[in-house]
Amino acid sequence: GESVGLHLPTLSVQEGDNSIINCAYSNSASDYFIWYKQESGKGPQFIIDIRSNMDKRQGQRVTVLLNKTVKHLSLQIAATQPGDSAVYFCAENMMGDMRFGAGTRLTVKP
Amino acid sequence: KAGVTQTPRYLIKTRGQQVTLSCSPISGHRSVSWYQQTPGQGLQFLFEYFSETQRNKGNFPGRFSGRQFSNSRSEMNVSTLELGDSALYLCASSLEVTSTGELFFGEGSRLTVL
């Protein structure tokens, strides 16, 4: 049969606004979570990570929030810039078994 | 410091052939992991090597195999290629095993199977 591509959620924001990208993970035993950014034609690039013993971690312009109760991860990007346009993936890691979400395509409008 | 280098960047094969992809990790990194990325399935974990030993393996058939050399360079092989093997194959390296830290990805090898 015909294969259907993953329907990537999309998020479009105005330059300068804050962006929030959400991700639901599957394994309650996962203990390490990572956000990656992938620009067209490139490999994924690490943005920020968080371990399961934390619920919030901040980087430069980015914050990751972890809610283990509902198995939810979010990435907040402050003052979004055109260079932030990319596909963003969350990943969960349990004992070396790395699983990636489908990704969200972020478009920043000038 | 040079990043993760994957070769070849692009290749075209026909069904039934086999292919070998190469990955040179960042200097000093001992872990190399491989991933398949397709529009239909997204990013999927293939396997991870650390100190020449396979530590973890994803849910792929035995046609997919890999190895790591003493200098941490890694190769993956796909035998008896199928059309569905067309994908971007990504390699990532890390200092230690993937469960402990940041992964650095290469730009991938794009395989097209005709």
Our CA-based measurement puts residue A14 at a distance from the nearest CA of chain B, in whole angstroms, of 27
Q: Of the candidates A3, A43, A49, which has its C-beta nearest B105's C-beta?
A: A43
Task: Answer whether B19 touches A (CB < 8 Å).
Answer: no
Q: B26-79, pLDDT tens digit by residue?
A: 999 999 999 999 988 889 999 999 999 998 899 999 999 999 999 999 999 999
Q: Is the dihedral of CA B21, B24, B30, B33 positive or negative?
A: negative
**pLDDT band at residue A93 under the 50/70/90 scheme:** confident
pLDDT score, position A6: 55
Residues B13, B81 contacting (CB under 8 angstroms)? yes
Q: A46-90, pLDDT tens digit by residue?
A: 999 999 999 999 999 999 999 999 999 999 999 999 999 999 999
Quote the distance between the C-alpha of residue A13 and its chain's center. Answer: 16
Question: Which residues of A make CB contacts under 8 Å with B?
Answer: 3-6, 31-32, 34, 36, 41-46, 49, 89, 91, 93-103
Q: Is B5 helix (H, G, I), strand (E, B) or coil?
A: strand
Task: Answer whether B104 touches A (CB < 8 Å).
Answer: yes
Closest of A109, A81, A80, A106 to residue A23, by C-alpha: A106
The amino acid at residue A66 is: L
Q: Is A42 helix (H, G, I), strand (E, B) or coil?
A: coil
Which regions of chain B does DSSP assign to beta strands (E)? 5-7, 10-13, 19-24, 31-38, 42-50, 53-57, 64-68, 74-78, 87-94, 104-105, 109-113
Our CA-based measurement puts residue B77 at a distance from the nearest CA of chain A, in whole angstroms, of 20
pLDDT score, position B98: 62
- Rounded to whole angstroms, the Cα distance separating A106 from A103 reads 10
Closest of B91, B49, B85 to residue B69, by C-alpha: B49
